[in-house]
Amino acid sequence: MAVKLKLGINLGFAINKYAEPEVWSRIVAEEMGVKTVQFVADLLNVFLPDEIVKEQVERINRSTERHGLDITSTFTSAFTRVNHFMHPDAAVRKVWLDWFKRFAKVSRELGAVTTGSHFGILTFADYDDQARREFIIGEALRNWQELSWYCKDLGMTHLLFEPMSIPP
């Protein structure tokens, strides 16, 4: 039985040095010869104002179309690798849930059928207190579940998370 594999690249390499979609899309398509990409949140943080996000999405879509690239998935990256759904403050966890929903919406506008991040990061204080640790993990699970329903409603096929920074 033959296995068909598709080579893709995570755009984390482009953060800071190749922030312009016209530049990273050309590098990926022409210099690397890759057509499938995983877009990262640090190239377009949805905390930015709506008009900037809209303009950047249009610019990214023009550039990827020009170079025949397919954004199949999105993921958080270096700058967006924070507590998210495991932040000790409930209000901050809510902000991150809203952020992920907005990122998922933008991901679909870019053509992605999946998005994701790491599961969350516990503070030492929350990790060291068993009751608090269980509570925060439960909060993270509820937020991931709500996000999964939201992504399904957007037409995404699945939601990914990296199981890092959680107890064994």
Residue 1 forms part of a structural domain: no
Q: What's the residue count for the chain?
A: 168
Residue 168 forms part of a structural domain: no
Q: Please give the residue range of the domain that contains residue 125.
A: 8-162
Q: Tens digit of pLDDT for each residue in 157-168?
A: 999 988 765 555
Cα separation, 97 vs 95, whole angstroms: 5
Residue 139: per-residue pLDDT: 97
Q: Tens digit of pLDDT for each residue in 91-140?
A: 999 999 999 999 999 999 999 999 999 988 899 999 999 999 999 999 99
Cα dihedral 68/74/80/81 (nearest 10): -120
Any idea what the Cα angle at residue 74 is, between residues 76 and 33, rounded to 5°? Answer: 115
Cα separation, 31 vs 33, whole angstroms: 6
Task: Give the residue carrying structure tokens 């249009």.
Answer: 58
Task: Give the residue carrying structure tokens 């096929």.
Answer: 157
Residue 38 forms part of a structural domain: yes
Residue 1: per-residue pLDDT: 85
Residue 48 forms part of a structural domain: yes
Q: How many domains does the structure of the chain reveal?
A: 1
Q: Tens digit of pLDDT for each residue in 25-84?
A: 999 999 999 999 999 999 999 999 999 999 999 999 999 999 999 999 999 988 778 899
Which residues, at least 6 apart from 15, have a Cβ–Cβ distance to it below 8 Å?
40, 42, 43, 77, 78, 79
Neighbour order of strands in the sheet with 70-75: 8-10, 36-40, 70-75, 114-118, 158-162
Residue 82 forms part of a structural domain: yes
CATH of the domain at 133: 3.20.20.150
The average pLDDT across 8-26 equals 97
Compute the radius of gyration of the chain from its Cα atoms.
17
